[in-house]
Structure formats: structure tokens, C-alpha cells
Chain A
């Protein structure tokens, strides 16, 4: 059941992105920026966590989930440490993914050559 919900929720978030690509003049970079900010906004209003409860990875894997993770990291840090949490929380939950991408970017550039 959780696989079906992940498919539906994740698929629908990607459909929203595709509609923005096809029906507006936004590039995929614009859409990705928009989605992270939108995920952050929905998260702060308490609207993204219910989507995570419904869709599991379908809600956390799209980039909106990245914005959600940033905001929740900040909120957790503010609750624990006060004002400094505003600055210390954004990458609390998101660091592993970003660091993995940087390290793998270098490794892939060492191993592979661009096509063409």
C-alpha cells in the first residue's frame, strides 16, 4: 500500500512540475528553485507533514521534500536552542544528501568522461 501511495503522491508532484515546464516559460532550474521554496512554505504552515504521512517517500524524494527538511531542521533547532537555530538548522537534516552529491560529483568526474 505504501508503494502505491508513494507512486501516486510522487507522480503527482512531478506532474505539477511538468505542467509548469510545458505551460509556462520557466526552465527546469526555475521549477526546482520554486519547488524547494514551495515545500519550505507548505512545511512551515504544517501542510507538508500530512503529505509525508500519506505519501512517504513520494513526498520526501521530490525537491519539495528538501524544502520541508530544511524548514523542519530550523524549527527543531529553534525549539532546542532559540534564535541561533534560525541559522543552524537549515542543513541539519539535509547535509548527508548534499555532501553525498558533492563527493559523488567529484568521483564521477574522475571515473567518467562526458559523452560526445
Chain B
């Protein structure tokens, strides 16, 4: 579409027809499924969080073991091939929770196993998680720098 200027009228007509006939995603259906699946995954997370809190951990301390439980669930379900099926059905409902983060690591690790453990599993593991960590780190560090400027006494407000 960005190339519209360089297309012949025939190509533009073709693009127009593609746009017209492309199946429109049923947004309402997708949103409802994402809400239910995403909400349900977070309820499972709450069960884990409450369990670790009941062991005497503060809600802050309980967050890390809860994340580990959820990552483990996401990883094992991905290994069994179930999480990718859920992903086709639930979209963001399964992608946005941390189980989806685990899926984004384990799924390519499995898929590229045939390319070997170094250039397949090892290299492809972070194909989606890599950008998430790179830009998450960049954003957090920039915000941390501002926080240090303000609270480290360099800038007096």
C-alpha cells in the first residue's frame, strides 16, 4: 500500500479487490475470547500468588515465584503443542500474559530444533522475547535515569 504511487492502475485495482475480499476479522468475537482467556490465565496466576502469599511471602516477594509458575505452565503447554493451538483461538488473550512470553521463547526453540542446538534452539529462542527485553530494558533504563536525576539530588525540584 505504501507503494501505491509506483503501481500501475491494474495493480491498484487488484489491491482494491484484495482489500474488499479479505475476510474481516470478527473484532467483537476476538475481543470477547481475549477477555475470557486472558482473564482466566490471570486467575490461575492469582491462585499461585495467593499460594505463595499463604507461605508467608509478601505480595511483592510472591511475584517472582508466581512468574516462574506461570512461565513453567506456558513452557510445558507449548512443548505439548497446546499453547500454540490456544494462541490461534485466543489471540492477545494468550499472547499478552507472561505464559505467552514463555510460549514466544519455547515455540521457536522447538520449531528450529532441526537447525541444531546452537544456531537453531539457541539463536531463535529470543526471536520475539529479544525485542521485548531490548526495548523494555531501554525504556526502563531511560526512566531510571530520569528518576536518578530527580531523586539523586542532581535536579532539585
Chain A contact residues, CB within 8 Å of chain B = 2-3, 6-23, 28-29, 31-33, 35-37, 40-41, 43-44, 55-58, 60-63, 65-67, 69-71, 73-75, 78-79, 82-83, 85-87, 89-90, 93-94, 96-98, 100-102, 104-109, 111-115
Given the contacts A7-B43, A18-B34, A22-B30, A28 and B92 also touching, CB distance less than 8 Å: yes
Closest chain A residue to B144 by CB distance?
A74
Interface residues on B, range: 35 or more
Q: A29-B128, A61-B98 are in contact. Are A75 and B49 (CB under 8 A)?
A: no
Neighbour of A36 across the interface among B38, B59, B99, B136, CB < 8 A: B136
Q: Are B128 and A11 in contact (CB under 8 A)?
A: no
Min CB gap B139→A, angstroms:
4
Chain B 55-81: CB-based contact to A (< 8 A → 1; otherwise 0)? 000010001111110111001101111
A58 touches B46 (CB 8 A): yes
Q: Are B96 and A67 in contact (CB under 8 A)?
A: no
Q: Are A32 and B110 in contact (CB under 8 A)?
A: no
Q: CA A2 – CA B117 in complex, angstroms?
A: 42
Q: Is there an interface contact between A32 and B93, defined as CB atoms closer than 8 Å? A: no
A-B contact count, CB below 8 Å?
272
Q: Could you tell me if A71 and B143 are in contact, using CB atoms closer than 8 angstroms?
A: yes
Beyond the given pairs A11-B36, A61-B42, 11 more chain A to chain B contacts, judged by CB atoms under 8 angstroms and listed by A's residue number, are A10-B41, A13-B96, A15-B31, A36-B135, A40-B140, A43-B143, A74-B141, A78-B151, A79-B151, A105-B75, A115-B84
13 A-B residue pairings within 8 Å (CB atoms): A7-B42, A13-B96, A15-B38, A16-B92, A36-B139, A57-B66, A58-B46, A75-B147, A87-B141, A105-B75, A107-B75, A108-B76, A114-B111
Instruction: Return A17 CB to nearest CB of chain B, in Å.
Output: 3
- Contact in complex: B63, A108 (CB < 8 Å): no
Contact B92 A109 (CB under 8 A): no
Task: State the main secondary structure of chain B at its contact with A.
Answer: helix
Residues of B within 8 A of A (CB): 25, 27, 30-31, 34-43, 45-50, 59, 63-68, 70-72, 75-76, 78-81, 84, 91-93, 95-102, 104-106, 109-111, 113-114, 117, 121, 125, 128-129, 131-133, 135-137, 139-141, 143-148, 151-152
CA distance A41 to B21 in the complex (A): 39
- Interchain CB contact under 8 A, B66 and A60: yes
Q: Are B75 and A101 in contact (CB under 8 A)?
A: yes
- How far does the alpha carbon of A115 sit from the alpha carbon of B139 in the complex, in Å? 36
Tell me which of B45, B121, B137 contacts A106 (CB under 8 A).
B121
Report if A17-B92 is in contact (Cβ < 8 Å); known contacts: A112-B110, A114-B113: yes
Contact A97 B68 (CB under 8 A): yes
